[in-house]
Amino acid sequence: MSDTQARETSASGYDIAPLAPEERDRLAGQLSAEERDVLLNHGTERPFCGTLLNNKQSGVYACRLCGLPLFRSEEKFESGTGWPSFTRGYDPEHIREISDRKYGMVRTEIRCARCDSHLGHVFPDGPAPTFQRYCLNSVAMEFFASEADIPRH
């Protein structure tokens, strides 16, 4: 495998090459107003309102815009914050972390590695063994009951 191929495919076998602007725009055209606000404008859905907050099904949570797998249901936990929370990502290469200094706070924003969509934030106050709390917007994700159903863009 060449260096280019290694950089564009994650360890879990998914294409993580950045989307072309035209493809991102095409996919964004299919989003609702709330999804656009969160994913593209770095908004936040209201707490305790997200459709995936109380989802207890087994499966995989993927990026709403591009379908890249982000989290497994086994890593989901009830944080009491009002947003779906996870202890670790599906694959570390699928999530980018960026320093966020808005609103007088220092936080770590998380974005999809393939399409650069805003997903939420990660905090160092989660349960063992990772002690991480990936706090996600439900509208930033799509749930798939089977890994086989996840689109491979």
What structural domains does the chain harbor? 3-147 (2.170.150.20)
The CA–CA distances, whole Å, from 18 to 23, 102, 140 equal: 10, 25, 17
Positions in the chain whose pLDDT score sits under 50? 1-6
Q: What is the pLDDT of residues 106-149, one digit of tens each?
A: 789 999 999 999 999 999 999 999 999 999 999 999 999 987 77
Active site residues: 135
pLDDT of residue 6: 43
The CA–CA distances, whole Å, from 105 to 40, 100, 101, 111 equal: 21, 8, 5, 18
pLDDT of residue 63: 97
